[in-house]
Amino acid sequence: IEYNVGEWVHIALVHGSGILTAYKDGILVDSLPSGPTLQPDTGAQPTLHIGGIFNQDSAFEGLIDEVRIWNTALDTATIQTWMEQELITDRF
């Protein structure tokens, strides 16, 4: 997803039904087959990398203000609704 360093942007990645979908500022950028979520075969817990690409020298150039991880694949309308909503919860 292309972005300008120093400019605020909302990026959402959705993985569901073997498809990875990318949104920028609530607008669909691209989708591609990704297959199922793979678990490590070492018995270890999966590792999530945010702001970089595992095993490569590429990294996000900027500051990450907020990260939300949902346990379901969100649709476009939900992403557009939630992208500027403050998350309020008492579960911290």
Q: Is the pLDDT score of 48 beyond 60?
A: yes
In whole angstroms, what is the distance from residue 35 CA to residue 15 CA? 9
The pLDDT tens digits of the residues spanning 8-46 come to: 899 999 998 889 999 999 999 999 998 877 777 887 877
- Give me the phi and psi of 28, to 5 degrees please: -60, 125
- Residue 1: pLDDT band by 50, 70, 90 thresholds? confident
- Give me the phi and psi of 79, to 5 degrees please: -60, -45
pLDDT at 5: 81
Q: Is the pLDDT score of 58 beyond 80?
A: no
Copy the structure tokens of residue 54: 């595992």
Task: Identify which of 38, 25, 22, 29 has the alpha carbon closest to the alpha carbon of residue 73.
Answer: 22
Confirm whether pTM is higher than 0.85: no
Whose structure tokens read 């605020």?
8
